[in-house]
Amino acid sequence: MTEKIAVYGAAFNPPHAGHLDAIAQLLAQVDRVLVVPSYRHAFGKTMAPFAQRVAMVKAALASVSLPPTRVEVDLSEQRLAAAKAAEDPIYSWDLLQETQQRHPDARICLAIGPDNANPAQWQKFYRHEDIDARWQTLVVEERVNVRSSAVRDAIAAGASVPVALLPAEVAQLIDQFGLYR
């Protein structure tokens, strides 16, 4: 049987309950989920340092005891960045190609949210037509209404972020790293 792998890339700036819900949705559809923190965002988003976001993603995943054989933090974008000019973004196309090369017998799927599934937004993706032709996209529902930008704004304003939106382990790392103030 061919393994079905979902590639779930995001800024994870910071990771929150909505991201964890998306992963749970994907686990119901695929054999494995590769959680890929953005190294250089294709749309130019400003992000906390990569290593800190990776640590927060790992903490978020550990907070909900996801099966390690089915969910893995994947550092592909960091590897891809090493082969590109410093200012070049890492595109979903690059990530999918690299993932397919590492897993040649797997069925690779790109996980996206409803915002990116919107045709006007999807058309902004580099080589979106080639992605459509070669791989499946899985649209996860937005069942947990939280945005990383709202979490960052709340922290910057000095508010405490409810654990329902952000795992306590992630909040502790945000404090430890001094992020979003």
For the residues of 99-162, what is the DSSP string, one character each?
HHHHSTTSEEEEEE-HHHHSHHHHTTSTTHHHHHHHSEEEEPP--S---HHHHHHHHHTTPPPP
- What is the per-residue pLDDT across 47-105, written as a single tens digit (0 to 9) for each? 999 999 999 999 999 998 878 789 999 999 999 999 887 778 889 999 999 999 999 99
Closest CA to 57 of 167, 178, 176, 177: 167
pTM score, whole prediction:
0.94
**Residue pLDDT, tens place only, 110-147:** 999 999 999 999 999 999 999 999 999 999 999 998 99
| Domains contained in the chain, number | 1
Domain range for 41: 4-177
